[in-house]
């Protein structure tokens, strides 16, 4: 498989890391298993992706959420900014 490393950095509307955010793939251009990932204490999720386009949705522990689309192979890190509804 030609998987490449990817990193998602989950931050709140102030740019601070969101520890414990849950991340899921909501769309992909290639078959990809349903997975739920958990951000570490720095708001980071490291994973490996096959070539394609992936949209991730992150959910913070306080109910905030946000999305980011990642191209693989790509830049290596994507920022996912999450906020409460109406703050985006």
Question: What is the per-residue pLDDT across 41-84, written as a single tens digit (0 to 9) for each?
Answer: 999 999 999 999 999 999 999 899 999 999 999 877 899 999 98
Per the structure, the count of domains in the chain is 1
Domain that holds residue 20: 4-81
Name every residue whose Cβ is closer than 8 Å to that of residue 7 and which is 6 or more positions away in sequence.
44, 45, 46, 47, 76, 77, 78
Within-domain flag for 86: no
Q: Give the domain CATH number at 74.
A: 2.60.40.1120
pLDDT at residue 74, rounded to an integer: 82
pLDDT for res 29 = 94
pTM surpassing 0.85?
Answer: yes
């Amino acid at each position: 498989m030609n998987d490449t490393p990817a990193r998602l950095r989950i931050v709140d509307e102030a740019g601070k890391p969101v520890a414990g955010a849950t991340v899921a793939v909501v769309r992909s251009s290639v078959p990809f298993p349903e997975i739920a990932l958990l951000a570490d204490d720095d708001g980071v999720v490291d994973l490996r992706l096959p070539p394609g386009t992936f949209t991730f949705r992150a959910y913070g522990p306080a109910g905030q959420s946000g999305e980011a689309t990642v191209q693989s192979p790509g830049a290596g890190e994507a920022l996912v900014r999450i906020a409460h509804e109406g703050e985006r």
